[in-house]
């Protein structure tokens, strides 16, 4: 059974870099069917898509965060990562990682939706 687990520091100082790891167990991160996604949720607010990464390193990212964020994958460790630079209090949130599975019909591809999620990790930006 596929499981995802976020890890990283719970407290980050303003202007520093937030670095999170999502560890994938019970399955391989290298499958061609899966995209690996980062999502966050500020306290009391809605969900925000941060971006996704494919096993070959291809990424799609939220334009509003793209200048500060890097999403990457390490297939040898079955992990994927989020780095968010120059953080401010507005980056305080619960950060989730998730799996989205795609399928293709001819030259068009579609998604089944994010069916496996980590429990989330709380990151606070404060001095």
Partner 1 sequence: SYELTQPPSVSVSPGQTARITCSGDALPKKYAYWYQQKSGQAPFLVIYEDNKRPSGIPERFSGSSSGTMATLTINGAQVEDEADYHCYSTDFSGTHWVFGGGTKLTVL
Residue 113 found at the interface with partner 1 (CB under 8 A) = yes
Rounded to 5 degrees, φ, ψ at 123 are -120, 125
d(CA 107, CA 119): 34
Output 7 or 15, the one with its CB closest to partner 1. 7
Is residue 105 left, alpha or beta, with left meaning phi > 0 and alpha meaning psi from -120 to 50?
beta
Residue 106 found at the interface with partner 1 (CB under 8 A) = no
Which position among 23, 49, 55, 85 is part of the footprint of partner 1 (CB under 8 A)?
Answer: 49
CB of 127 to partner 1, least distance (A): 27
CB of 100 to partner 1, least distance (A): 9
Cβ proximity of 36 and 52 under 8 Å: yes
Residue 52 found at the interface with partner 1 (CB under 8 A) = yes
Stretch that binds partner 1, among 7-15, 23-31, 48-56, 81-89 (CB under 8 A): 48-56
d(CA 64, CA 51): 11
Burial-class residue 21 by CB neighbours within 10 Å (0-12, 13-18, 19+): middle
Output 16 or 27, the one with its CB closest to partner 1. 27
Residues that bind partner 1 (CB under 8 A): 39, 46-49, 52, 60, 62-64, 96, 110-115, 117-120
């Amino acid at each position: 059974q596929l499981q995802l687990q976020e890890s990283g520091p719970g407290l980050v100082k303003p202007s520093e870099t937030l670095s999170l790891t999502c560890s994938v167990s019970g399955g391989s991160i290298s499958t061609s069917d899966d995209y690996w996604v980062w999502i966050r949720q500020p306290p009391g607010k809605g969900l925000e898509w941060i971006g996704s990464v494919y096993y070959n390193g291809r990424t799609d990212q939220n334009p509003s965060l793209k200048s500060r964020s890097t999403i990457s994958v390490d297939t040898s460790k079955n992990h994927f990562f989020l780095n968010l630079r120059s953080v401010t209090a507005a980056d305080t949130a619960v950060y989730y990682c998730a799996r989205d599975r795609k399928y293709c019909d001819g030259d068009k591809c579609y998604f089944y939706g994010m069916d496996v999620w980590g429990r989330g990790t709380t990151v606070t930006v404060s001095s």
